[in-house]
Structures are given as structure tokens and as C-alpha cells.
Amino acid sequence: MLLPGNGEVPESNRSRAELGSEPGSEPGEGFEPGPEALIVPVVFGLIFVLGLLGNSLVMLVIGKAKYSIGGGKRGPSSPTNIFVVNLSVADLGFLLFCVPFQATVYSLPQWVFGGFVCTFSHYVSSVSMLVSIFTLAAMSVDRYIAVVLSQKPRRCMRSRRNALASIAMIWALSAACSVPVAQHQILIDYPSGTNSTYCWEHWESRAAKRSYKVVALLLGYVLPLLLICCCYARVLFHLHKKMKNVSKKSQRSKRKSPPESTRRVLVTAENLTGHPARQINNKRSMHCDRVAADRPCRKI
């Protein structure tokens, strides 16, 4: 998924407006498309096609896997599959509602899609970004429960119902955190300019903007990163500890049992010495059965 740089929502056409706001010029005047007007849309088009195919295939494979259990019956979805599907949905939302419009920023001199698309595309971009980040954090917690707490009652937390509840909470939290983006992403018109309409992030207070950026950075990057690192560090420590215990047990078993070469020699000696004697005793007992009962047989 293509994410906005520096933790900020992309500010469409901002560079164009700043270039046109020099003294003695109106916004948008003197716009001449450069190489990026062709290169960026082509790159965004490749991202769109590959992302659409890749995420659709992921959802198709997981959907088919659910029906391949028990002769076409629908099987239970694992929490991991639910989280992976949620990641694909978030990526598809970004690809469908953001990438096509953002590609035009580099090829058109002004914003031509209207105020609703300006607000909606940036809002969906922010929501998709947060959903992806929170889902990755939830997957790390799921892995921690599955590996570290596998022998404890708390493993029942890894259920389909709890996974769906987590997904609902992730979307609700992401939608709520992205509301300021929708409120401050607006169209700015310069009636005196040749190219006069821009989709711009506008804040009336710099303090409010900085506060939101700090909160978004902490909530959408720092805290999820710390949670992911802690969970996977615990998983690695647990697996390393288990592997050490397994190696110790194998060494103890090797010390108690004789070496493989010794066991082979003993088995061979038993076959060479014991097998002929058993054959002679078997033949002698068969001969004794044919002799009269008053003539006891001697055992070898």
C-alpha cells in the first residue's frame, strides 16, 4: 500500500499553488508540465493494476479455502485469515478511491474533481493507512497469543468472533481519527488566476495542526510500532527458549541410551547366537510330540 510520506496526508496541488504564489504572479500562472506529468501517472497506473490484482487474488484464495473443507461446506475462518482480508480491503480502498485522483495532481494544472472528491479521497487515504497499521498491530498480538499463550486458557481469545470485533474497532477508530482530515481538506479558489482551483489542507490555527500531527504520529506510528516490536520479541524469545529445552532433552536421551553402533552389534550378536539355538529347541519339541508319553525327551 502506498502511504503518505512523513506521516502527513498528501496535500494535492500544494506545490503548484506555492510555485504560482511568487510575487508578481497569480496561482497557477505559467504552469508547464514536466517529465513527472507522464512518469508519475504511469507509475501510479502500475501500482493500481498490480495492487488490484494482488489484493483480489488474496481475497479469492482465502475465500476458496473456506469452502474447500468438508466437501464444499464453509469452514471456520482463522483470525489470521480475517486480518489478512482486512488488509486487502484497506489496500483496495486506497487504490480505488485515492490513487487515480492523486495521479492527476502531477499532470493537471488544477483540481478538476470537485470538493466532495477532494475531501473524500484524502479521508479514505487516511482511514486506509490507519486501518493497515492497526491491523498489523492486531496480527502481532494474535501471533503472540498463538505462540506464547498456546498452552493457557487465554488462547480462547483467538476466535473468529473476537477477530471480527477487533476489525470493527479498528475501522471505527481509524474513521474517528481521520475526521480532522475531512474537515480541513478543502478547495481553495483564486478567481483572478488562470488555473484557480486547488485541493488544499487548510488549518486556521498552526497549534491545532501541530497537535493533530503529533497525535497522529503517536497513534498511527509510534505506539503500533512499539506494540509490534514487543509482541514479536516475546515470540522470538519464547521460541528460542523452547528450542533450547528440546536440545537439552535430546542430549539427555542420547546419554541414557547406548550409541547406535552398540545397539547394532548387540542385535547382530543376538541373531547369530540365539537364533540357531531356538531352531534346535523347536525341532526337538516337535520330535517329542511324536514320541510316546512314557519316554520323556531331553531338552537341549
The residue with greater pLDDT, 233 or 240, is 233
For the cut 60, the answer to whether the pLDDT of residue 205 exceeds it is: yes
What's the count of helices (H) and strands (E) in the chain, helices before strands?
10, 2
Segment 113-122, tens digit of pLDDT: 988 999 999 9
Asked if residues 178 and 126 have their Cβ atoms less than 8 Å apart, the reply is: yes
Q: Which of 52-61, 146-155, 203-212 has the lowest mean pLDDT?
A: 146-155
The residue with greater pLDDT, 8 or 156, is 156
The residue with greater pLDDT, 190 or 7, is 190
Asked if residues 118 and 187 have their Cβ atoms less than 8 Å apart, the reply is: yes
The residue with greater pLDDT, 254 or 239, is 239
pLDDT at residue number 187 = 87
Q: Which of 44-58, 83-97, 115-129, 144-158 has the lowest mean pLDDT?
A: 144-158
Return the percentage of the chain with pLDDT > 90, whole number. 42
For the cut 90, the answer to whether the pLDDT of residue 134 exceeds it is: yes
pLDDT at residue number 249 = 65
pLDDT at residue number 296 = 54
Half-sphere exposure of 30 (CA within 13 A, CB side): 10
**pTM for the complete prediction?**
0.70
Q: What is the mean pLDDT of residues 204-231?
A: 94
Return the DSSP state at 30: T
Distance between CA atoms of residues 297 and 276, nearest Å:
19
For the cut 50, the answer to whether the pLDDT of residue 28 exceeds it is: no
pLDDT at residue number 102 = 87
The residue with greater pLDDT, 245 or 34, is 34
Q: What is the mean pLDDT of residues 48-60?
A: 95
Distance between CA atoms of residues 60 and 81, nearest Å:
12
Task: Spell out the domain ranges in the chain.
Answer: 5-251, 265-290
Residue 193: closest CA among 19, 36, 37 = 19
Please, which pLDDT band fits residue 225 given cuts at 50, 70 and 90?
very high
Asked if residues 233 and 140 have their Cβ atoms less than 8 Å apart, the reply is: no
- List, in order, residues 6 or more apart from 38 with CB less than 8 Å away: 107
The residue with greater pLDDT, 235 or 281, is 235
The residue with greater pLDDT, 297 or 178, is 178
Judged by phi (left if over 0) then psi (alpha if -120 to 50, else beta), residue 13 lies in: left
The architecture CATH gives domain 5-251: Up-down Bundle (1.20)
The residue with greater pLDDT, 130 or 278, is 130
Please, which pLDDT band fits residue 191 given cuts at 50, 70 and 90?
low
For the cut 70, the answer to whether the pLDDT of residue 155 exceeds it is: no
| C-alpha 107: how far from chain center | 34
Phi, psi of 189 (to 5 degrees): -105, 140
Distance between CA atoms of residues 70 and 61, nearest Å:
17
pLDDT at residue number 1 = 38
Q: Where are the beta strands (DSSP E) in 244-300?
A: none
